[in-house]
Copies of this chain bind each other. A is one copy, B any other.
């Protein structure tokens, strides 16, 4: 497999960074090719704006997704975006490795989604969910959390983690057609002992060893909806 790890932590010696390095090493040892985009290390610009296009279809009025669609064909996307897009298109598996900020990704990673998942390639028109432009690729969220696991789940104070991660799992990864694996979660990271952390690393290594056999999460398919995207009656 070709594997891209997109890593977004502002402390190079963090446990989150250790998960990133472990994945890189483990997957290489399994014979996979691995590229890492260390967003803080790269000083990645997360702000979607007019400078993202070397030429503009409409220089007077910015419709970001429309300019993406033109620029990706004309090859006039800003170089930093093009580089990340090429890595993404090269990858069979993409791992997003990050600390949870506000039940979501840090802004630097949100801006990777905003700028790299370009309209016209990754989605567009009726090309989303199982018909999305990145169909065939697999995606994994690897995340570190301050909260404890009993604070998530049905009836728990924050509800199920998958519900909090819904715009990422369903609205971003599944939307672009990717096969989405269950997240790998390291709980309560700032407060646990070194033994617990070592256990997380071991569990992650084991998880990565079997990643090609992992069962994916299930999301909507376009054939469950009509041409105007109203739901069709469910099969009995």
Contacts and interface: CB of A to CB of B under 8 A. Distances in A.
B102 A117 contact: yes
A114 B129 contact: no
A66 B225 CA distance: 47
Given A164-B167, A166-B164, A229 B102 contact: no
Interface string A207-236: 000000000000010101100111100000
A151 interface: yes
Contacts of A156: 231
Interface residues of A, number: 57
A107 B104 contact: no
A76 interface: no
Interface string A173-216: 00100000000000000100000000000000000000000000
A114 B222 CA distance: 35
A189 to B, nearest CB: 10
B167 A104 contact: yes
Q: Number of copies of this chain in the oligomer?
A: 2
A48 B231 contact: no
Interface in A77-134: 101-108, 110-111, 113-114, 117, 129
Contacts of A230: 150
Nearest to A50: B10
B49 A46 contact: no
Interface stretch (A18-26, A28-36, A57-65, A135-143): A57-65
Contacts of A148: 229
A4 B50 CA distance: 26
Interface centre among A107, A157, A166, A220 (most CB of B within 10 A): A107
Q: Give the top 6 A-B pairs by smallest Cβ distance, nearest first.
A: A107-B111, A103-B171, A103-B167, A46-B107, A107-B110, A11-B62
Given A107-B108, A159-B170, 13 more contacts: A10-B62, A13-B61, A46-B111, A66-B190, A102-B117, A103-B171, A106-B114, A108-B111, A129-B157, A151-B229, A155-B231, A157-B222, A157-B225
